[in-house]
Amino acid sequence: MYKVADMGLAEEGRKNYEWAYRHMPALVRTIEKLKPKKPLEGVRVGVCLHVTKETSVLVMGLKELGADVYLTCANPLSTQDDIAAFLASEGVNVFAWRGESEEEYWENIRTVLRSRPSILMDDGSDAHVTAHEEGLCDSIVGGTEETTSGVIRLRALDEAGKLRYPIIAVNNAYTKFLFDNRYGTGQSTLDGILRATSLLIAGKKFVVCGYGWVGRGIAMRARGLGADVIVCEVDPYKALEASLDGYSVMPIAEAAKVGDIFVTATGQIGVIRGEHMELMKDGAILANSGHFDVEIDVSYLRKFKSRKVRPNVEEFDLNGKRLYLLAEGRVVNLVAAEGHPPEVMMMSFSNQLMSALYLLENHEKLEKKLYGVPEEIDREVAVNALEGFGIKIDKPTEEQVRYAKSW
């Protein structure tokens, strides 16, 4: 069963899958190692991730390990239609296309949940929350969550004592947030802004809202391209860190007056509001890299006349002043570019895969709570990734092991 945009794109999707596969050696090695045992034989896995070439490597791996996969997307605009078609041609149950309406988006999530999966993999927690709100948890023995914004929602569910199955916060593994959030989003956000605007970054005042791992990555890459980076933060430690990393730090109401390009990466709502847009210069560009389209108050902009000026660029006329919104205020790195590169996603998705297997094996011993990725999985992903990158490291000597344990 599938519902995709155009099955004629399947061959193009296959080539993109092969390209990603070639650049995700750590994930491929894990899949190859597990294949003979078929640990997912007869297991239905529900997947709500961005449908990208990198995700196709994970999904094909799940299939090779025996799973019956039901796949939908984690954002109405992030699906790569060629990949959806390729996966459907390989027998994956795919319900995803680029440009889904809100209604279609939620209905596709319900379709995955109604297939009664045992394991549910999510990115942003729309699937987990829907399963909980609509009484569709019964079949699920465990879940995983990919991203910071999703973990925040699950933590609230957990603290309210309402989780109905154990969930592993994949986002919180070292081999996820240190690389995916920082280097993945750092690169792909700049990639999205460049593809959408085709403008010079050097010399621009580039405002990054949020200095978590994602904000750090974006600021670093913007500086690397020659931008004058300004950071806005609410957390005193992170604000200090940004300052000592060499960036200007100021409130958004100050940054709004001088910025040329604004990027939100906070996981929070209403970070750039109408009152800030009123202060902005003619021509300012706004983009969001957080999971949800709530960080920039798009509803404020929608009060004004607008027109599409390029793919993924919408111009708003605020009584003579023009502001430019990229990718409708949704994840700019996935809507205007292709998301994180495969070398980064191989670590995130190795954590997803191994966490799913761990849940399948251990769910009876686990409580209905939010867990971190087990340390041995995180470490194995790091070791595999080093090997995949061809990097060798030293082992501590016996003397060093003894020294580290001595008092």
* φ/ψ (deg, to 5) at 309: -105, -20
Encoding tokens for residue 337? 């570019």
Position 340 contacts ligand ADE (CB under 6 A): yes
- In the complex, the smallest distance separating the C-beta of residue 342 from ligand ADE, rounded to whole angstroms, is 7
CA end-to-end span of the chain, whole Å?
Answer: 62
- In the complex, the smallest distance separating the C-beta of residue 359 from ligand ADE, rounded to whole angstroms, is 20
Contacts with 361 (C-beta within 8 Å, 6 or more apart), sequence order? none
The CA angle 361-385-404, to the nearest 5 degrees, is 85
CA atoms within 13 A on the CB side of 104: 14
Position 52 contacts ligand ADE (CB under 6 A): yes
Encoding tokens for residue 134? 């609509």
- In the complex, the smallest distance separating the C-beta of residue 392 from ligand ADE, rounded to whole angstroms, is 28
- In the complex, the smallest distance separating the C-beta of residue 55 from ligand ADE, rounded to whole angstroms, is 5
- Using the contact rule CB under 6 A, the part of the chain among 98-106, 170-178, 212-220, 332-340 near ligand ADE is 332-340
- In the complex, the smallest distance separating the C-beta of residue 354 from ligand ADE, rounded to whole angstroms, is 17
Closer CB to ligand ADE, residue 128 or residue 205?
128
- Using the contact rule CB under 6 A, the part of the chain among 155-163, 207-215, 312-320, 333-341 near ligand ADE is 333-341
Contacts with 11 (C-beta within 8 Å, 6 or more apart), sequence order? 86
Residue list 159-198, contact with ligand ADE (CB under 6 A): none
From candidates 16, 30, 55, 351, binder to ligand ADE by CB under 6 A:
55
From candidates 14, 23, 44, 50, binder to ligand ADE by CB under 6 A:
50
From candidates 24, 27, 45, 49, binder to ligand ADE by CB under 6 A:
49
CA atoms within 13 A on the CB side of 16: 21
Q: DSSP per residue over 71-98, as a string?
A: EE-SSTT---HHHHHHHHHTT-EEE--T
- In the complex, the smallest distance separating the C-beta of residue 339 from ligand ADE, rounded to whole angstroms, is 3
Closer CB to ligand ADE, residue 142 or residue 290?
290
Residue list 341-360, contact with ligand ADE (CB under 6 A): 345
**Residues 396, 400, 402, 405, CA torsion sign:** negative
- In the complex, the smallest distance separating the C-beta of residue 151 from ligand ADE, rounded to whole angstroms, is 14
| Separation CA 123–CA 167 (nearest Å) | 12
Q: Which of 378, 380, 400 is nearest to 388 (CA)?
A: 380
Buried b (16+ CB within 10 A) or exposed e, 194-230: ebbbeeebeebbbbbbbbbbbbbbbbbbbbebebbbb
Closer CB to ligand ADE, residue 28 or residue 141?
28
- Using the contact rule CB under 6 A, the part of the chain among 46-54, 204-212, 322-330, 389-397 near ligand ADE is 46-54
Closer CB to ligand ADE, residue 54 or residue 297?
54
Size of the site for ligand ADE (CB under 6 A): 9
The backbone region for 320, taken as left when phi is positive above 0, alpha when psi lies in -120 to 50, beta otherwise, is: left
Q: Which residue is nearest to ligand ADE (CB)?
A: 339
Closer CB to ligand ADE, residue 55 or residue 125?
55
The backbone region for 330, taken as left when phi is positive above 0, alpha when psi lies in -120 to 50, beta otherwise, is: beta
Strands of 248-249's sheet, edge to edge? 248-249, 228-232, 205-209, 261-264, 285-288, 321-326, 313-318, 305-310
- In the complex, the smallest distance separating the C-beta of residue 71 from ligand ADE, rounded to whole angstroms, is 12
Closer CB to ligand ADE, residue 212 or residue 339?
339
Residues that bind ligand ADE (CB under 6 A): 49-50, 52, 54-55, 334, 339-340, 345
